[in-house]
Amino acid sequence: MRRVGRYALLLFVLAVTIGPFLWQLSTSLKGAGEDVYAPDFVPSQPTLANYAGVADVVPVWTFVLNSLFVALVNVVANCVGASMAGYALARLRFRGRRLAALVFASGILVPFEVILISLFLVMRSFGLTNTLTGVVLPGAVAALNVLLMRNAFLALQPEVEEAAVIDGANAWQRFARIAVPSARGTILVVALFSFMFSWDDFLWPLVVLSDPDKYTLTIGLAYLQGTFFQNQRLVAAGTIIAVAPLIVLFISLQKHFFRGVGEGAIKG
Partner 1 sequence: MTRWYTPWLFLLPGLAVVVTFSLVPFVNMIVLAFTDATALGGGHFTGLANFQRMLDDPKFWVALRNSTLYLVGVVPPLVVLPLLIALLVRKKLPGITFFRTAFFTPVIASAVVVGLIWTWLLDSQGLVNNVLRALGWVSRPVPFLTDEWLLLVSAMLVTIWKGLGYYMIIYLAALGNVPADLHEAAQVDGAGPVRRFFAVTVPALRPTMVLVAALSAVNGFRVFSEIYLLSGGSGGPGGADTSLVMLIQQTGTGLTGNVGYASALSMVLFVVTLGLLLVTLRLNRREEAL
* Subset of 46-65 contacting partner 1 (CB under 8 A): none
CB-count burial class (<10 Å; 0-12, 13-18, 19+) for 80: middle
Give the 3-state secondary structure of residue 168: coil
| Total number of residues that touch partner 1 (CB under 8 A) | 92
| Residue 18 vs 163, nearer CB to partner 1 | 18
Residue with Cβ nearer partner 1 (97 or 184) = 97
Phi, psi dihedrals of residue 105, rounded to the nearest 5°: -65, -40
Q: CB under 8 A: which stretch of 55-63, 68-76, 112-120, 155-163 binds partner 1?
A: 112-120
Instruction: Pick between residue 49 and residue 249 the one whose CB is nearest to partner 1.
Output: 249
Which residue in 49, 122, 164, 178 binds partner 1 (CB under 8 A)? 122
Alpha carbons 96 and 83: distance in angstroms, whole number: 18
Q: Does 128 bind partner 1 (CB under 8 A)?
A: no
Would you give the end-to-end CA distance of the chain in angstroms? 41
For residues 37 and 157, which CB has a smaller minimum distance to partner 1 in the complex? 37
Within 178-217, which residues bind partner 1 (CB under 8 A)?
196, 199-203, 206-207
Q: Is 163 in the site for partner 1 (CB under 8 A)?
A: no
Tell me if 173 contacts partner 1 by CB under 8 A: no
* Residue from 1, 98, 113, 181 binding partner 1 (CB under 8 A): 113
Q: Binder to partner 1 among 92, 155, 163, 176 (CB under 8 A)?
A: 92
Stretch that binds partner 1, among 42-50, 54-62, 88-96, 152-160 (CB under 8 A): 88-96
Taking phi over 0 as left and psi of -120 to 50 as alpha, with beta for the rest, 111 belongs to beta
* Residue 157 to residue 25: CA distance in whole angstroms: 48
- What is the four-CA torsion angle of 26, 32, 33, 35, rounded to 10 degrees? 50
With CB under 8 A as the contact rule, the residue among 4, 13, 42, 211 that binds partner 1 is 13
Cβ neighbours, 10 Å, residue 2: 6
Computed on alpha carbons and rounded to an integer, the radius of gyration of the chain in Å comes to 23
Of the candidates 182, 163, 174, 164, the one whose C-alpha atom is nearest the C-alpha of residue 88 is 174
Kindly state the smallest distance separating residue 245's Cβ from partner 1, in Å.
Answer: 10
* Longest distance between any two alpha carbons in the chain, whole Å: 75
Q: Site for partner 1 (CB under 8 A): which residue of 76, 155, 158, 229?
A: 229
For partner 1, which residue of 65, 131, 138, 151 counts as binding (CB under 8 A)? Answer: 138
